[in-house]
């Protein structure tokens, strides 16, 4: 927060200090500082009194007091600036996310990587970072062989969206019915199964793109595993030649035990390679072609070992790439774990439609016009917010009915708060202005608005959009208290309160943008 930066600069003239020494909001004063406990452990109060008597107080503050060793600063609310000016960072970062297997439709489980990846990309862009959004399709894995086997046995009824049909037959076929030769034939380009492979992959991705369009998510680049199989095998052979890999039962195995990681197969004895093998080749390609400063993968926590092995192999090969795995927990649906293979899953398209329908019913009850577009923004916003509001290190148990509620910590509640602000601003013809006299509800709202800059910074450093969700709910709740207790329209302080309403609207709009959410016109 800029007020803390001002205090840090001023106090650093007297004492060694950093912004981590400040507490905001504080129980005593508006901003408290604990530096005296660090610099004078025997008598912090004496040092606090000395600083109070010597400091040149910046104009944004009314006074400073010493109490029990703390420095307590009181803000002059008539002189603060609520605008945010983030420091720009000159970097190229690729964020890889979503990554559905192109052999079946996306289900609820895919929503977390997709929404996290998009939100993280927007947060990075907020700081001026050039972000390349990437999607990686595993189009030559074992699941492809499974879907092709199912396609050959059952065909496609062609009654629904094609990727939904593929998901159905994927779950229908039994393990013993999967033709294991398919993967070998495709990877070695014998010419067999090419037609079926293209049908499955192309139609799956066609379905994905329709879903992404609904969600307003676009990718800058798309990678296919099939394009990196050959180079991945070349790298495996290089590791073998350099002595970092060995042959075991006909397979090429990379030796990672000396790095406290389990050894792992790169090429099977039948000549087919693994996902990790292609990922090594792809990562090298990413950094070289796109001149990346950093690469981020938004992938579930069950893949932690995969990325530890990937990063270590890249290091062994002599690459000094900056790589980060942003992991997250699983999603269950109303207490049940999902599985594409068993057929226990909720298709993402179906869930989107369900939430939009629930939003339509609520809007009809409220006699709102232009129901279709508004319901779409509310329903999809509810889904995104419900997924993003949970710390990514925790699991989620998703309930559609809770997500679409217009009250509580939900997307619709935040959206409604913005609509309410817009309605107030539309009814006022006063110009925004500041004031000398600020009451307790105005101060509470201003303090919450001042937190926004730090919240975004923390979400950036931790790559956790849930911090923005939590803040959005707190700000919306604080604004509601302000509005209930402070008359805006027609009050003698209307000009100042309109200013606070406008700042609240802009803060909430920024938060929803960073979360990848749209705002409806009416609710």
Name the domain count of the chain.
3
Cα(378)–Cα(370) distance, integer angstroms: 12
Q: What is the 3-state secondary structure (H, E, C) of 323-354?
A: EEEECCCCEEECCEECECCCCECCEHHHHHHH
Q: Are residues 259 and 128 in the same domain?
A: yes
Q: Are residues 333 and 359 in the same domain?
A: no
Average pLDDT, the chain: 93
Cα(131)–Cα(143) distance, integer angstroms: 30
* Token pair of 87 as six digits: 């420091």
> What are the residues facing 325 on neighbouring strands?
297
* Domain boundary, last residue among 337, 360, 380: 337
Taking residues 233-252, report their average pLDDT: 96
Residue at 13 is within a domain:
yes
Residues 6+ apart with CB under 8 A from 72: 26, 28, 29, 30, 31, 32, 33, 64, 65, 66
Residue at 99 is within a domain:
yes
Cα(404)–Cα(380) distance, integer angstroms: 9
Residue at 251 is within a domain:
yes
Cα(355)–Cα(353) distance, integer angstroms: 6
Q: Are residues 105 and 243 in the same domain?
A: yes
How high is the pLDDT of residue 342?
55
Residue spans of beta strands (DSSP E) within 148-218: none
Find the CATH number of the domain harbouring 102: 3.40.50.620
Taking each helix axis from N to C terminus, what angle separates 440-462 and 466-485, rounded to the nearest 10 degrees?
A: 170
Q: Are residues 195 and 288 in the same domain?
A: yes
Cα(97)–Cα(223) distance, integer angstroms: 11
How high is the pLDDT of residue 155?
86
Contact 439, 447 (CB under 8 A): no
- Residue 31 DSSP symbol: E
Q: Are residues 400 and 507 in the same domain?
A: yes
Residue at 522 is within a domain:
no
* Domain boundary, last residue among 308, 337, 366: 337
Please report which confidence band the pLDDT of residue 248 belongs to, taking 50, 70 and 90 as the band edges: very high
Taking residues 130-142, report their average pLDDT: 93
Cα(55)–Cα(370) distance, integer angstroms: 58
Find the CATH number of the domain harbouring 46: 3.30.1360.70
pLDDT digits (tens, 9 = 90+) for 262-273: 999 999 998 889
Q: Is 318 exposed, middle or buried (0-12, 13-18, 19+ CB in 10 A)?
A: exposed
* H helices present in 55-107, as ranges: none
pLDDT digits (tens, 9 = 90+) for 160-212: 788 898 888 888 888 878 887 898 888 888 889 999 999 999 999 999 999 99
How high is the pLDDT of residue 338?
66
* Token pair of 48 as six digits: 């606090």
Find the CATH number of the domain harbouring 498: 1.10.730.10
386 or 189, higher pLDDT = 386
How high is the pLDDT of residue 498?
93
pLDDT digits (tens, 9 = 90+) for 310-359: 999 999 999 999 999 999 999 999 887 766 555 567 899 999 999 999 99
> What are the residues facing 251 on neighbouring strands?
248
Residue 378, domain extent: 348-514
Q: Are residues 220 and 276 in the same domain?
A: yes
Q: Are residues 260 and 280 in the same domain?
A: yes
Residue at 85 is within a domain:
no
* Domain boundary, last residue among 25, 41, 75: 75
> What is each CA distance from 445 to 4, 28, 417, in whole angstroms?
18, 17, 14
In the predicted structure, residue 47 carries a pLDDT above the cut 80: yes
Please report which confidence band the pLDDT of residue 28 belongs to, taking 50, 70 and 90 as the band edges: confident
Contact 308, 254 (CB under 8 A): no
Cα(466)–Cα(463) distance, integer angstroms: 9
Dihedral of CA atoms 210, 212, 214, 216 in degrees, nearest 10, equals -140
How high is the pLDDT of residue 369?
82
Q: Are residues 302 and 438 in the same domain?
A: no
Residue at 84 is within a domain:
no
Q: Are residues 109 and 49 in the same domain?
A: no
Q: Are residues 50 and 109 in the same domain?
A: no
Preceding amide of 25 cis, omega within 30: yes
In the predicted structure, residue 70 carries a pLDDT above the cut 90: yes
In the predicted structure, residue 431 carries a pLDDT above the cut 80: no
Residue at 270 is within a domain:
yes
How high is the pLDDT of residue 187?
85
CB neighbour burial string for 88-105, b if at least 16 within 10 angstroms, e if fewer = eeeeebbbbbbbbbbbbb
Phi-psi region of 99 (alpha: psi -120 to 50; beta: other; left: phi over 0): left
Instruction: Write down the residue that tokens 């037609």 correspond to.
Output: 195
Cα(91)–Cα(293) distance, integer angstroms: 6
| pTM value surpassing 0.95 | no
Q: Are residues 167 and 109 in the same domain?
A: yes
Residues 6+ apart with CB under 8 A from 30: 24, 72, 73, 74, 75, 447
How high is the pLDDT of residue 189?
85
Q: Of all residues in the chain, what percent carry a pLDDT higher than 70?
A: 98
pLDDT digits (tens, 9 = 90+) for 452-473: 999 999 999 999 999 999 999 9
In the predicted structure, residue 143 carries a pLDDT above the cut 90: no
Q: Are residues 385 and 310 in the same domain?
A: no
Residue at 82 is within a domain:
no
């Amino acid at each position: 927060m800029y007020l803390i930066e001002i205090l840090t600069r001023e106090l650093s003239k007297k004492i060694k200090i950093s912004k981590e020494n400040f507490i905001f909001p504080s129980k005593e004063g508006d901003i408290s500082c604990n530096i005296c406990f660090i610099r004078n452990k025997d008598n912090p109060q004496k040092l606090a009194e000395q600083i109070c008597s010597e400091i040149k107080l910046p104009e944004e503050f009314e006074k400073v007091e010493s109490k029990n060793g703390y420095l307590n600063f009181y803000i002059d609310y008539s002189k603060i600036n609520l605008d945010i000016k983030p420091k720009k960072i000159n970097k190229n970062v690729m964020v890889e996310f979503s990554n559905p297997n192109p052999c079946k439709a996306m289900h609820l489980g895919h929503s977390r990587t997709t929404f996290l990846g998009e939100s993280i990309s927007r947060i990075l862009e907020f700081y001026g970072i050039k972000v390349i959004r990437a999607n990686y399709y595993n189009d030559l894995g074992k699941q492809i062989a499974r879907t092709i086997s199912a396609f050959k046995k059952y065909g496609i009824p062609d009654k629904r969206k094609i990727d939904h049909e593929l998901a159905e037959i994927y779950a229908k076929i039994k393990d013993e019915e999967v033709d294991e030769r398919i993967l070998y034939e495709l990877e070695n380009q014998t010419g067999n199964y090419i037609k079926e492979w293209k049908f499955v992959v192309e139609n799956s991705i066609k379905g994905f793109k329709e879903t992404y369009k609904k969600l307003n998510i676009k990718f800058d680049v798309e990678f296919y595993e099939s394009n990196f199989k050959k180079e991945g095998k070349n790298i495996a052979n290089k590791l073998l030649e350099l002595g970092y890999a060995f042959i075991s039962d006909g397979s090429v195995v990379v030796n990672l035990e000396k790095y406290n990681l389990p050894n792992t197969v790169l090429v099977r004895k039948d000549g087919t390679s693994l996902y990790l093998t292609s990922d090594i080749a792809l990562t090298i390609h990413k950094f070289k072609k796109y001149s990346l400063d950093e690469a981020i993968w938004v992938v579930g926590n069950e893949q932690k070992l995969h990325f530890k092995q990937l990063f270590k192999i890249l290091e062994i090969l002599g690459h000094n790439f900056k790589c980060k795995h942003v992991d997250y927990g699983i999603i269950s649906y109303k207490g049940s774990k999902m599985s594409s293979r068993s057929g226990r899953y909720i298709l993402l398209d179906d869930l989107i439609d369900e939430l939009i329908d629930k939003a339509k019913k609520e809007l009809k009850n409220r006699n709102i016009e232009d129901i279709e577009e508004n319901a779409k923004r509310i329903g999809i916003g509810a889904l995104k917010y419900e997924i993003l509001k949970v710390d990514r290190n925790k699991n989620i148990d998703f309930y559609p009915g809770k997500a679409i509620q217009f009250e509580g910590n939900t997307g619709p509640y935040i959206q409604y708060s913005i609509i309410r602000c817009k309605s107030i601003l539309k009814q006022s013809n006063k110009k925004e202005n500041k004031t000398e006299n600020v009451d307790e509800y105005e101060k509470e709202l201003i303090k919450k608005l001042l937190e926004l800059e730090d919240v975004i910074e923390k979400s950036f450093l931790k790559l956790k959009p849930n911090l923005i969700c939590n803040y959005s709910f707190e700000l919306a709740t604080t604004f509601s208290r302000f509005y209930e207790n402070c008359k805006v329209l027609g009050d003698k302080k209307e000009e100042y309160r309109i200013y606070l309403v406008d700042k609240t609207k802009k803060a909430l709009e920024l938060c929803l943008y960073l979360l990848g959410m749209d705002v409806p016109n009416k609710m």
